[in-house]
Amino acid sequence: MSSHTVSNASTTNPLRFLAQVALDPEKVLSNGIDSTFFGNWLLKTVPPSRNLPPNLHIECGHSSASCTSPTPLKRSSSSNGIHTSESPLKSNFSKSTKHLRKSARVLQKTRADIKAKRREYMTSALKIKTLDNSPVNNQQYAILRMVYDEITMYPSEAWMVLIAIVIHRSLKQVKNWFSNERQKQKTGEVVTIPSDIGERIRLRPPLLNLCQEWSDSLFEGILRVYHFKITHAP
């Protein structure tokens, strides 16, 4: 399928548009979205791949220098008994432990940053006041419908806060809309996966073919780009 076909399809098929945003934000920008408005911000929404864990396997070569003459044990003057003069496994394990500790510190800081940002967004969302019985307009409904049908019918509170901010409706209304919609038509499969900070989120299965790692920033990016696209449609 050509890029022109994908671009045309994305205006009517939200799922294909999500694929463009999640997998190739640069192409989305080049297809007509104002790069000044979205450029640097959108390109940061796709999370980087996680680093693979260190390999603790130690290769043993077949040369006489490496395997034919084992190092004799030496008696230690300390209370620890015996030890080898050098232990590659011990050295490798030490490096692995340091790497894991560093990864844990990075994850802890990431979680703290995300929670702080969520508190800011919650404060903003709670300032939005709309009447409980006031109907949503066509653009607001299109975003709610897209999230429910294409992403998840069980958005987390953090994601509902983002929806409320983007469509400018009260958080209570957004929560009620998803609750009522699930009562009316609880159809379609969902899968549970861990988010970028280890929280469990429920998504529509096709999304895993588009992106394996989902986060608040990626979800917000999709919301804002889709909102921009439908509000500036010719």
Q: How far apart are CA 231 and CA 234, in angstroms?
A: 9
90 domain-assigned: no
Given a cut of 60, whether residue 1 has pLDDT beyond it is no
Q: Which long-range contacts (CB under 8 A, 24 or more apart) does 63-67 make?
A: none
Complete DSSP assignment for 21-72: HHH-HHHHHHTTS-HHHHHHHHTTSSPPPPPPPPP------SSHHHHTSPPP
Q: How far apart are CA 159 and CA 107, in angstroms?
A: 20
- Provide the pLDDT for residue 63: 46
Strand partners, 83: 74
106 domain-assigned: no
What's the domain count of the chain?
Answer: 1
Distance of CA 138 to the CA centre of its chain: 28
In terms of residue numbers, what domain contains 169? Answer: 124-231
Residue 39 near residue 29, CB atoms below 8 Å: yes
pLDDT tens figures, 144-199: 999 999 999 999 999 999 999 999 999 999 999 999 999 998 778 889 998 878 88
pTM above 0.85, yes or no: no
83 domain-assigned: no
